[in-house]
Amino acid sequence: MSRKPPLGEGETARTACAPVLLRSGVDERTGEILTGTVLAERVGWCADLVAGMTGSLLSGHWNTADVDVLAVGVDAGGRGLPSHAWMALRRLGWTVAPPDGVRVNDRGVRMAQEQAGRMLRSVKWRADVVSGVLAAWPADPDKRTREEWDHVREAIPGGDRLPSSVIRSRTRQIAAFARRHRRLPSDVFELEPAPRVARMLLLAACDGQQATLERADDGHRALLRLQLPVRPDPRSYTHWTWVACPILLSSTVPANAVLHLPTLHPTVGRVRADLAFTHPAPKTRRSGHTVSLGVDWGLNTLLSAGAARLHLDGRITALGAGAQFRTAGVLAKQHRLRRISEHLHAKADHYIRLADPALDGKTERLAEETRRVSARRSNLSNALAWSAARWAVDQAIAVGATVIYLEDLRSLEARGMGRTTNTRLSQTVRGKIADRMRHVAAESGIAVVSVPARNTSKHCPHCLTPLRHRKAPDRPTVPGWKWALCPQPDCGWQGDRDQGAWRRIAARGLTHQTKTVTDRTSGQMVIRSVVDRLEATAVITTTPETARSDRSRTGPTRPRTNRPAPRRRGVPSPARPTRRAGRRPEGHASTDRTRLPRAAHRHQSVATISTPTTRHKPRGAVLGAGFHFHAHASPPRWTEPAQDPTVRTGSIS
C-alpha cells in the first residue's frame, strides 16, 4: 500500500498525529487474550530493552566531534547520509548490541538507533548557540554592550534572527556553571548531561518483520500486529511472539488518510500510542489574502482576536468588535501547582542535605509526588494550548479568513513587572499555542504567519498616533495600561489595549504579506521586519455609518400609553398544553434546558472596567469543576445580527 495519499488540484499532503489507546491484545501463538495491564507489561519489557541500547549509544557519542560528524551529513566516503536517523548511524558505523544473553532482533536495534540519532541531531543547535556565547563571552554577563551583542550574534550561526531571550538564558546557564566550578564550560556537553531516555517504541523505524498496521473496511478501526517478548530478558527468538492489538480510530482521522506505524508509550496499566497519518489538505499561501485574523497575546486575557478586510482600493476595515479568550482561572491553577512543585523541591533538597538514612523513604515519596504535580502541570498546559488554538482557528473559519497573523513574542522576557507578574508571564505557553495553532489551521488551508510585535499596543490602529493608556474607561485620569485613548482630535479612538493591538497586527500583516517568507529550519511563515513605507498604510479605516431616515416632524406627536408593552411575538403563543413536550416558548429563552450552567452566568462580552472591590469567588474551582469552567471565550461578533422579522420591538400602542 502506498504511504502517500492521492492529491488533487490545490491540495498538499499533511501529516498529523492522533492519540489512541491499546486496550487489549491477542497472542497469536497461544490464542490468549491479553488484558490492558498484561499488554502494558509486555510492551514495557520491550521498551526497557530499547531504552538500554539507546542510553548506550548516547553515552558513547555525546561529544562535539560525533555530533558534528552527524550534522555534516556526509560519511567517510563522501556520500550523503540518509534522512532516517537509524540508517545514518549505521552508515557511520555507530552500532549497539543488547546485553549478554538477551536476544533482540535487528528491528529492536533499529528503534534504539532511531531514537538516539534523533536526540543527537537535535542537540546540534544547542551546541552552536552555546559555542557562540562562549566565544563572545562578555565582560559583564548581566549586561552586554551593543558591540558585545553584535559580536555574539556573529558568532552564532543564524544569530541575526535569534531572539535575544535565548542568548540571555544560555548566558545565565553558563554563568551558573562558572560560579559552581570557578571556570567556563568547554561546550554544551559539559554544561548539560546526556538527556534522559524515554520508554517508548518508535515502530516507524521497523518493517513488516517487527510490526504491521492494517485499516479495517469500515474505516473506524485498525489492527496493529507487533512482536513482543514473553519475559523481561528473552533468551531466544522463541521468547518473542506476535500480538494483535485492535485500535479504535478517533473521529479526527479522515477516511482517506494513510496510516503509519505508531509510537508506543507504556505507562502503568495501559499503553498509549501516537498514531501518525497522512491525508490531503488545502494548500496554504503566503500572499494574496484579503481577510485576515489578527491575534494578540495577553496575560489573563490570553488571546484577543479580530478580523480585518483588505479592499481593492487599499483600505483596511475591521469586521466586528472582535473576541477574547480569557484563562485567568487556568493560569491561577498553573501558578498554584508551580508553588506546590517549588515547595516539594525545596523540601526534598533539605532532606538530601541532612543526609539522614531515616529520611530516604520520605525523599522517595516527595520525588513521586513531584512527578505527579509535574504531570498535572504538563496536562493543564497541553489542554490550554489545544483549547486556545482551536478557538483561534474557529474564529478564522467563522469569518472566512485565509490567514492568521500572530504576534511574534519569542523574544519577550518577563522582567521589571513585579515578582508575581514576571512569574506568571514566564509560565505562559505561547510556543505551544502557536505550534498547535499551525497544526489545526493546516486542516482548513489557513496560513499562520508571525509578525513583529513592535508598537502594536503603542500606536493607534486608525492614525498610528502614540496612545495614552489609562486604568479603565470609567477612570480616565488614572494612569494605567489596560485602556487606550488616542490624543489626536480628528481620530479620538479609544478602546481596550488588546482590542487595538489585534487591529494593528491584522493591518500590518495584510500590508506586509508580500514580505512573508518561510523559515528553512522550522518551516514556519514569518514576516521578519517592518517596512516604514508599508507600515504607513497599515491603518484601519472607519466604516461610514449608514444615514438614518429623515425624522423631522411633519405632524403632531402620536399619544403614547404610560405602560408600554414588552417585546412580543407577531403571532400569539398557543395555549399551554398539559404536558411539557411540544410547547413553544413565548420569548427567546432556550428550550433544551431549564437552567443555564454556572459558566453561562459569567460576564462573557468584550469590555474593560475598573477592578471590582469585591474578590472573585470561583464557584467552579471550589466545587472541583473541570478545565472549561476556568476558560471563557467570547463568541465571534463579525457582523451585526440580522433582525428577527417575527419580533416587534415597539409598543402595541
pLDDT mean values, one per 10 residues, the chain (653 residues)? 76 90 94 94 95 94 93 88 93 92 93 95 93 93 90 90 86 93 92 90 92 89 94 93 94 90 92 93 91 87 91 91 86 86 91 87 91 90 91 93 88 54 59 90 93 88 89 79 86 87 93 90 87 91 63 66 55 53 46 48 47 54 55 63 40 34
Q: Is residue 626 part of a domain?
A: no
Is 537 in a helix, a strand, or coil?
Answer: coil
Which residue type, as a one-letter code, is found at position 131?
A: S
Beta bridge partners of 452: 408
What is the pTM assigned to this prediction?
0.78
Q: Is residue 171 part of a domain?
A: no
pLDDT of residue 310: 94
Q: Is residue 92 part of a domain?
A: no
Other C-beta atoms closer than 10 Å to the C-beta of 448 total 26
Helices (H), 95-251: 106-135, 146-155, 164-181, 188-191
Residue 146 to residue 427: CA distance in whole angstroms: 29
Which CATH number belongs to the domain containing residue 296 in this structure? 3.30.420.10
CA distances from 421 to 83, 236, 413, 621 (A): 44, 59, 11, 22
Residues with Cβ < 8 Å from 105, sequence gap 6 or more? 209, 210, 227, 237, 240
Which residue type, as a one-letter code, is found at position 348?
A: A
Residue 469 phi/psi, 5-degree rounding, is -105, 135
Q: Is residue 406 part of a domain?
A: yes
Number of independent structural domains in the chain: 1
pLDDT of residue 631: 75
Q: Is residue 404 part of a domain?
A: yes
CA distances from 547 to 9, 317, 550 (A): 46, 19, 9
CA distances from 290 to 10, 153, 394, 507, 577 (A): 18, 37, 18, 11, 53
Other C-beta atoms closer than 10 Å to the C-beta of 562 total 5
**Half-sphere exposure of residue 442, counting CA atoms within 13 Å on the CB side?**
18
Helix (H) or strand (E) holding 485: strand 483-485
Could you tell me the residue range of the domain that residue 487 belongs to?
Answer: 291-330+382-535
Residue 326 to residue 42: CA distance in whole angstroms: 44
Q: Which residue has the cell 540519532?
A: 117
Q: Is residue 278 part of a domain?
A: no
Q: Which residue has the cell 514576571?
A: 422
Distance of CA 11 to the CA centre of its chain: 25
Is 307 in a helix, a strand, or coil?
Answer: strand
CA distances from 616 to 39, 44, 63, 212 (A): 47, 47, 54, 55
pLDDT of residue 632: 74
Is 359 in a helix, a strand, or coil?
Answer: helix
Q: What angle do CA 282, 283, 284 make, to 5 degrees?
A: 120
Q: What angle do CA 126, 131, 135 make, to 5 degrees?
A: 155
Residue 396 to residue 389: CA distance in whole angstroms: 11
Distance of CA 95 to the CA centre of its chain: 36
> Which segments of 498-573 are extended strands (E)?
517-518, 525-526, 568-569
- Let me know: does 457 contact 483? Beta carbons within 8 Å: no
Q: Is residue 546 part of a domain?
A: no
CA distances from 602 to 300, 301, 620 (A): 15, 15, 11
* Closest-CA residue to 275 (of 16, 79, 93, 473): 16
pLDDT of residue 549: 59
Residue 476 to residue 484: CA distance in whole angstroms: 10
Torsion over CA of 264, 265, 268 and 271, rounded to 10 degrees?
A: -30
Residue 150 to residue 144: CA distance in whole angstroms: 10
- Let me know: does 426 contact 414? Beta carbons within 8 Å: yes
CA distances from 389 to 162, 181, 205, 275, 369 (A): 25, 43, 31, 21, 30
Q: Which residue has the cell 496493529?
A: 224
- Let me know: does 272 contact 265? Beta carbons within 8 Å: yes
pLDDT of residue 596: 46
Other C-beta atoms closer than 10 Å to the C-beta of 295 total 27
Residue 599 to residue 632: CA distance in whole angstroms: 8
Helix (H) or strand (E) holding 160: none
Q: Which three cell numbers stand for residue 39?
A: 499488554
Name the DSSP class of 104: -
Residues with Cβ < 8 Å from 507, sequence gap 6 or more? 294, 308, 316, 461, 538, 539, 540
Q: Which three cell numbers stand for residue 608?
A: 474593560
Q: Is residue 521 part of a domain?
A: yes
